[in-house]
Chain A
Amino acid sequence: MATTARSGGNASGSTAQRPNGTQQNKNCQFKLVLLGESAVGKSSLVLRFVKGQFHEYQESTIGAAFLTQTICIEDTVVKFEIWDTAGQERYHSLAPMYYRGAQAAIVVYDIQNQDSFQRAKTWVKELHKQASPNIVIALAGNKADLSNIRVVEYEEAKQYAEENGLLFMETSAKTGMNVNDIFLAIAKKLPKNDGAHNQGAPAGRRLNDNENNRQTNNCCK
């Protein structure tokens, strides 16, 4: 049984963490990136997952493209560091930095929009080319609350996902359907044994106002 709980990021270390397990919990941190055509609901999915909110007329991404959320699976606290595209996908101008070191990706399309599904397939190819070979990819058919006017069939997407080794769910940021579930499924699939996913990851340091904070940003410390 998994629960979600919001907590202060360990990057800031300032907010007290809710008691959601024993002290022996393993802590894992993963970078997760969102990809998909403009207006398929990438930001809405994140906002639903992180803040439990939904805005019918969500503006094009402005202001908050770096959110964190923590979920607990059994004895492990999984912290997602979630990167939104900040609209840079619009003119194919996403920077390589975006994929860099990502351990998970959610590729989003809109079930009412065939083009967005085709575009999603291109993103999956791009990820296989650019991202780390062990990346966990989930395909999300968003706006599932509008399934009566869908054009992308569930079976078609499911088959594509299976052929390409992707997790797959239809989601609705509006109703919350499958939103937590898709993040949870990713969290389950990510390797959580000590250091397993740190291989090849750089051991650099984040710069911080606080000089004592010499963390290396590695997972599973």
Chain B
Amino acid sequence: MNEEYDAIVLGTGLKECILSGMLSVSGKKVLHIDRNKYYGGESASITPLEELFQRFNVESPGEKYGRGRDWNVDLIPKFLMANGQLVKLLIHTGVTRYLEFKSIEGSYVYKGGKIAKVPVDQKEALASDLMGMFEKRRFRNFLVYVQDFKEDDPKTWKDFDPSKSNMQALYDKFGLDKNTQDFTGHALALFRDDEYLNEPAANTIRRIKLYSDSLARYGKSPYLYPMYGLGELPQGFARLSAIYGGTYMLDKPIDEIVLGEGGKVVGVRSGDEVAKCKQIYCDPSYVPDRVRKKGKVIRCICILDHPVANTKDALSTQIIIPQKQVGRKSDIYVSLVSYTHQVAAKGWFVGMVSTTVESDQPENEIKPGLDLLEPIAQKFITISDYLEPIDNGIDSQIFISESYDATTHFETTCLDVLDIFKRGTGEDFDFSKIKHELGDEDQ
């Protein structure tokens, strides 16, 4: 450990592992440390099942849920958008070769106490029971407009300036009613609240395109999920970092971040060992005095022995409960994965309900989500602070990631990572370089 590194990365959550991989690939000498003896930090998948029970101080379940080591339970629920940033990162870095994925079978949205399939193409729009006859046609016209829309071709904008006019104006142009706006903004564009209505429409159009392009990629739904759980993702990027020379130390407590002149970082201390470095990249838990609380997220892990009702017995599902449907300001997300992803013993399912906390009784807030999953064999609730760094890290050269938010996918995760990489190295990550270099591996 007593060496000098270009960068020391603290914590092996997904963000830190992607950063570590990108830094190593860029030729930096990286030391990557985690205080835990397992990979993944907050983005780990917990195994065996007994470990999860222990973590929440619940008495061990014995044989009730099958073999404990067949379980890999995520602490933070998320899916990958098939055409999203993380998939691009996985493919361009070659990390995808360590992983296997399955498509999530169904994407649903909640309306009036029931769930309905999210309609995404013209055919589905016309078949959907989310809308009445005339509304269906209006929605279809809207979908056609979005499909044909090209940002660099004003002819496709059809007398509407998406960079100046807001999304509400575009909805009004097509005469879409509040219900349709609701599932479009929340289940297709995946906004968590309604602020987007007042922002330029271009961003929302982009997000709807991401949804439909993702769907087009592998069918069924726009979402992908890795076999054995999300915890495989940080491990894959850690392996990339190691292949490019990164050094890994797990189970290594960090006692101090050593600062030099002007408050700039010069190293980290563990016991009486000091590793020198020019930069640190870390998650908020390693620097509690350099982050502030931005909000709270509640997540409930549920063990079930059945699929979600009215999903045609799908073995994996995403359900979005738009805020307005349940009188909230932010959406509630429900996700379901199962033994088919090797994250549960045969016949078992893992459901998750999560949202941004809005009241002092967060457990009541997720009730509409839990109701969809009943009967639930076992619940585990966490309420965690959503932390963000107090500065951009340029002066201290300590670059801190934000906590994982309540979104259902990894788009914001990747944006944070790419932003941190740019702040830390002064340049955008060069994807083309790495892909070329990895070309000769598969001999």
- Chain A residues proximal to chain B, CB less than 8 Å: 6, 8-9, 11-12, 50-51, 60-69, 86-88, 90-93, 95-98, 100, 202-209, 211, 214, 217
| Docked CA distance A68–B98 (Å) | 13
With A66-B97, A66-B243, A217-B100 given, name 8 new contacts (CB 8 A). Answer: A11-B442, A50-B443, A67-B442, A91-B247, A91-B252, A97-B239, A207-B87, A207-B90
Instruction: Choose, from B230-238, B382-390, B399-407, the stretch at the interface.
Output: B230-238
CB of B99 within 8 Å of the partner chain = yes
CB pair A95 B243 closer than 8 Å: no
Most buried by A among B94, B98, B224, B238: B98
CB pair A95 B441 closer than 8 Å: no
In the complex, how many angstroms separate the beta carbon of A198 from the nearest chain B beta carbon?
13
Q: Which residues of B contact A214 (CB under 8 A)?
A: 218
Q: Which residues of A contact B196 (CB under 8 A)?
A: none
Q: Which 6 A-B pairs have the closest CB atoms?
A: A204-B100, A86-B242, A93-B248, A95-B235, A97-B235, A202-B227
CB pair B100 A206 closer than 8 Å: yes
- By DSSP majority rule, is chain A's interface helix, strand, loop, or mixed? loop
Residue interface bits B236-255, CB-to-A below 8 A is 1, else 0: 10110011110111111000
Question: Nearest B residue to A10 by beta-carbon distance?
Answer: B442
CB pair B98 A62 closer than 8 Å: no
| Docked CA distance A87–B29 (Å) | 14
In the complex, how many angstroms separate the beta carbon of B79 from the nearest chain A beta carbon?
14
Q: Which of B97, B224, B242 contacts A11 (CB 8 A)?
A: B97
26 inter-chain pairs at a CB distance below 8 angstroms, sorted by A residue, are A8-B442, A9-B442, A12-B442, A50-B443, A66-B94, A66-B98, A66-B442, A67-B441, A91-B250, A91-B252, A95-B39, A95-B235, A95-B238, A97-B236, A97-B239, A202-B102, A202-B228, A204-B99, A204-B100, A204-B101, A204-B102, A205-B100, A205-B102, A206-B101, A207-B87, A208-B96
| Docked CA distance A205–B87 (Å) | 13
CB pair B443 A61 closer than 8 Å: no
Q: Which of A12, A65, A98, A207 contacts B96 (CB 8 A)?
A: A207
| Docked CA distance A98–B94 (Å) | 16
User: Known contacts being A62-B243, A66-B97, A217-B100, is A97 close to B442, with CB within 8 Å?
Assistant: no
Q: Which residues of B contact A100 (CB under 8 A)?
A: 228
CB pair B247 A87 closer than 8 Å: yes
User: Known contacts being A202-B227, A204-B100, A207-B90, is A88 close to B440, with CB within 8 Å?
Assistant: no
Question: Nearest A residue to B219 by beta-carbon distance?
Answer: A214
Q: Which residues of B contact A6 (CB under 8 A)?
A: 443
Q: Which residues of B contact A91 (CB under 8 A)?
A: 247-250, 252
CB pair A209 B443 closer than 8 Å: no
CB pair A88 B242 closer than 8 Å: yes
CB of B114 within 8 Å of the partner chain = no
CB pair A92 B91 closer than 8 Å: no
Q: Which residues of B contact A208 (CB under 8 A)?
A: 91, 96
